[in-house]
Structure 1
Amino acid sequence: MASNRHLSRIIVLQTLYEFDFRGDAGDNSADIDEILNRNLERYKSAVDDKKFAKNMTISVHKLASSLDEQLQPLAPDWPIAQIARVDRVILEIGAYELQHHPDVPPKVVINEAVELAKSFGGENSSKFINGVLGSLLKQLKPEEFGDKSKIKKKKVAKKNKLAD
């Protein structure tokens, strides 16, 4: 069985995906709280921390536009409107969690998003999600990644010395 937080993320994904899908289909009666409560009810025996799922769902829903604006430059060849709906929702969840849940290690956030992509996305979704969220993490925490170009230059210089 999936871990409790993992299952909560699945519920968040399903809720946001359904709300988005119904809205695009012209269903103006779609209610995010109603969809979330139905999904939580379905998994009530397996989810202990309903608050995590509720807070994340409502927050990602409210911040979706600003999250999309942040994500767009990280995948310039893929306008947000062209990204598969499930991939976009997974990216929004991951981007939100990277920025608003410092209690969760960034590698865990990205790994969880990749696992969601493997379960619900297309063939290349997991690689795409990993790349975009990895780029976002580097942008959010540049001090943790340093200037890798200096390291690369040293390796090339050392290699060239050995070749001489």
Structure 2
Amino acid sequence: MSRRQARERALQVLFQVDMGGADPREAFAQMDEEFGKMAGSEDFAGKLVYGVLENLAFIDRVIAAVSKDWSLNRMANVDRNIMRLALYEVFFCDNIPNNVSVNEAVEVGKIFGGDDSGKFINGILGKVIENIDEYSPEKVKT
């Protein structure tokens, strides 16, 4: 399984957790049952999901700070969770270049989101990357 597929699986799990309050382990098991077990990148998908959940308050504060006119609740659920994944990678995965995280988020947004998801996601993430020091975990308190 590629990292893109792992990101897609992580998005699907986060969506279930976000929308239905699913337990992440159960959501992963359900995805495995429905779509087959992941081969190769299951650790990466798990790292993304659990990393987002552990840092959710910080990540959501960053999104809220950048998207001044859009509350988190107004955002499309898919877009919000794609941005959460990307921001987790940006702030907590030093081995992934920021431009890769943003590009992957935009592409996943085009697949799973609405017509304007790619542009919206790119706009929000681009603002964070442009001013990344302003949004560091040390400055954005949870």
Instruction: State TM-score, norm by structure 2.
Output: 0.86
Q: 2:19: which partner in 1?
A: 21
Q: What corresponds to 1:146 in structure 2?
A: none
Residue of structure 1 equivalent to 2:39:
47
1:1-164 alignment to 2 at 5 Å?
A: 4-23=2-21, 30-40=22-32, 42-44=35-37, 47-140=39-132
1:85 positional shift: 0.7
C-alpha separation between the residues in 1 aligned to 2:118 and 2:64? 17
Identity between Structure 1 and Structure 2 (%)? 33
Residues in 1 aligned to 2:126 and 2:36: alpha-carbon distance in whole angstroms:
31
Unpaired runs of at least 5, structure 1: 24-29, 143-164
Distance in structure 2 (CA, Å) of the matches to 1:113 and 1:43 = 23
The structure-2 alpha-carbon separation of the partners of 1:43 and 1:141, relative to structure 1 and needing over 3 Å to count, comes to farther
TM-score (norm 1): 0.75
The 1:48/1:131 distance shift into structure 2, 3 A limit, reads same
Count of aligned pairs: 133
8 Å contact kept, 1:80–1:88: yes
Structure 2, unpaired ranges of 5+: 135-142
Higher relative contact order (CA 8 A, sep 6+): 2
